[in-house]
Amino acid sequence: METILVAAGLITEGGKILVTQRREDTHQGLLWEFPGGKVMEDEEPRQALKRELREELGVEAEVGTMFEAVFHTYPEFSVLLLVYRCRIQNGVPQPLACRALRWVDLSELEQLPMPPADTPIRRSLFFSRKESLSP
Protein backbone atom coordinates (compact mmCIF):
# COMPACT_ATOMS: atom_id res chain seq x y z
CA MET A 1 0.00 0.00 0.00
CA GLU A 2 1.27 3.46 -0.90
CA THR A 3 2.29 5.82 1.94
CA ILE A 4 1.93 9.55 1.30
CA LEU A 5 4.13 11.96 3.25
CA VAL A 6 2.22 15.08 4.29
CA ALA A 7 3.44 18.19 6.14
CA ALA A 8 0.94 20.32 8.05
CA GLY A 9 1.18 23.52 10.03
CA LEU A 10 0.01 24.27 13.53
CA ILE A 11 -0.50 28.02 13.22
CA THR A 12 -1.75 29.91 16.25
CA GLU A 13 -2.53 33.54 16.92
CA GLY A 14 -4.18 35.13 19.92
CA GLY A 15 -5.11 31.77 21.42
CA LYS A 16 -6.76 30.59 18.19
CA ILE A 17 -5.67 27.83 15.79
CA LEU A 18 -5.89 28.12 12.01
CA VAL A 19 -7.77 25.32 10.24
CA THR A 20 -8.80 24.93 6.63
CA GLN A 21 -11.73 23.17 5.03
CA ARG A 22 -11.02 20.70 2.24
CA ARG A 23 -12.68 21.32 -1.09
CA GLU A 24 -15.80 19.29 -1.77
CA ASP A 25 -14.26 17.36 -4.68
CA THR A 26 -11.24 16.03 -2.74
CA HIS A 27 -10.58 12.97 -0.57
CA GLN A 28 -12.22 13.69 2.81
CA GLY A 29 -14.01 16.63 1.15
CA LEU A 30 -15.52 19.36 3.38
CA LEU A 31 -13.68 18.14 6.48
CA TRP A 32 -11.52 20.58 8.45
CA GLU A 33 -7.77 20.06 8.78
CA PHE A 34 -4.51 21.69 9.72
CA PRO A 35 -3.20 23.46 6.59
CA GLY A 36 -0.47 21.86 4.50
CA GLY A 37 -0.12 19.18 1.88
CA LYS A 38 1.89 16.47 0.18
CA VAL A 39 5.66 16.45 0.25
CA MET A 40 6.95 16.11 -3.31
CA GLU A 41 9.78 13.77 -4.28
CA ASP A 42 13.20 15.23 -3.33
CA GLU A 43 11.52 17.87 -1.14
CA GLU A 44 12.30 18.36 2.55
CA PRO A 45 9.09 18.38 4.68
CA ARG A 46 9.66 21.87 6.14
CA GLN A 47 10.26 23.32 2.67
CA ALA A 48 7.16 21.52 1.39
CA LEU A 49 5.10 23.05 4.18
CA LYS A 50 6.36 26.55 3.37
CA ARG A 51 5.41 25.95 -0.29
CA GLU A 52 1.99 24.55 0.60
CA LEU A 53 1.17 27.46 2.94
CA ARG A 54 2.14 29.88 0.18
CA GLU A 55 0.00 28.05 -2.42
CA GLU A 56 -2.95 27.23 -0.15
CA LEU A 57 -3.17 30.39 1.97
CA GLY A 58 -0.97 33.02 0.28
CA VAL A 59 1.32 33.48 3.30
CA GLU A 60 5.01 33.21 4.01
CA ALA A 61 5.59 31.22 7.18
CA GLU A 62 8.39 30.29 9.51
CA VAL A 63 8.31 26.55 10.09
CA GLY A 64 9.47 25.69 13.59
CA THR A 65 9.72 22.52 15.63
CA MET A 66 7.71 19.38 15.07
CA PHE A 67 4.57 19.17 17.18
CA GLU A 68 3.37 15.67 16.27
CA ALA A 69 3.86 12.83 13.78
CA VAL A 70 0.88 10.62 12.93
CA PHE A 71 0.66 7.48 10.80
CA HIS A 72 -2.84 6.61 9.60
CA THR A 73 -4.08 3.97 7.16
CA TYR A 74 -7.09 4.77 5.00
CA PRO A 75 -8.60 2.01 2.81
CA GLU A 76 -6.90 3.44 -0.32
CA PHE A 77 -3.50 4.52 1.08
CA SER A 78 -1.54 5.36 4.22
CA VAL A 79 -0.49 8.81 5.39
CA LEU A 80 2.51 9.87 7.45
CA LEU A 81 1.49 13.31 8.70
CA LEU A 82 4.23 15.55 10.11
CA VAL A 83 2.85 18.55 11.98
CA TYR A 84 5.11 21.54 12.62
CA ARG A 85 4.58 24.63 14.72
CA CYS A 86 4.45 27.59 12.34
CA ARG A 87 4.28 31.35 12.50
CA ILE A 88 3.04 33.60 9.71
CA GLN A 89 5.78 36.03 8.74
CA ASN A 90 4.08 37.83 5.89
CA GLY A 91 0.55 37.99 4.52
CA VAL A 92 -2.97 37.37 5.70
CA PRO A 93 -4.34 33.83 5.21
CA GLN A 94 -6.77 33.55 2.30
CA PRO A 95 -8.58 30.38 1.13
CA LEU A 96 -6.72 30.09 -2.20
CA ALA A 97 -6.58 26.29 -2.56
CA CYS A 98 -9.10 25.28 0.10
CA ARG A 99 -12.83 25.87 0.51
CA ALA A 100 -12.60 28.01 3.65
CA LEU A 101 -10.45 28.81 6.66
CA ARG A 102 -11.21 29.61 10.28
CA TRP A 103 -9.42 30.64 13.43
CA VAL A 104 -10.83 28.48 16.23
CA ASP A 105 -10.21 27.94 19.92
CA LEU A 106 -9.81 24.47 21.40
CA SER A 107 -13.51 24.08 22.21
CA GLU A 108 -14.47 24.95 18.61
CA LEU A 109 -11.78 22.64 17.27
CA GLU A 110 -13.29 19.77 19.23
CA GLN A 111 -16.61 20.25 17.38
CA LEU A 112 -15.24 20.36 13.83
CA PRO A 113 -15.42 17.26 11.63
CA MET A 114 -11.82 16.32 10.78
CA PRO A 115 -10.12 13.49 8.88
CA PRO A 116 -9.07 10.56 11.07
CA ALA A 117 -5.37 11.40 10.59
CA ASP A 118 -5.93 14.83 12.19
CA THR A 119 -7.77 13.49 15.25
CA PRO A 120 -4.61 12.54 17.24
CA ILE A 121 -3.26 16.06 16.65
CA ARG A 122 -6.42 17.60 18.02
CA ARG A 123 -6.14 15.30 21.05
CA SER A 124 -2.49 16.30 21.59
CA LEU A 125 -3.49 19.97 21.53
CA PHE A 126 -5.89 19.40 24.42
CA PHE A 127 -3.20 17.65 26.46
CA SER A 128 -0.64 20.37 25.74
CA ARG A 129 -2.91 23.42 25.97
CA LYS A 130 -0.88 24.89 28.84
CA GLU A 131 2.24 24.63 26.69
CA SER A 132 3.19 27.49 24.38
CA LEU A 133 1.93 26.88 20.85
CA SER A 134 4.46 29.21 19.20
CA PRO A 135 7.21 27.93 16.84
Decide if 117 contacts 35 (C-beta within 8 A): no
Range of the domain at 112: 3-127
pLDDT of residue 129: 63
CATH number for 99: 3.90.79.10
pLDDT of residue 127: 76
Closest CA to 63 of 5, 13, 135, 125: 135
Rg, C-alpha atoms of the chain = 14
In a domain, 105, yes or no: yes
User: Which residues, given as ranges, of the chain have pLDDT below 70?
Assistant: 129-135
pLDDT of residue 132: 46
Structural domain tally of the chain? 1
In a domain, 135, yes or no: no
In a domain, 134, yes or no: no
In a domain, 76, yes or no: yes
In a domain, 132, yes or no: no
What is the dihedral sign for C-alpha 107, 126, 48, 63?
Answer: positive
pLDDT of residue 10: 97
pTM value surpassing 0.85: yes
Tally Cβ neighbours within 10 Å of residue 99.
16
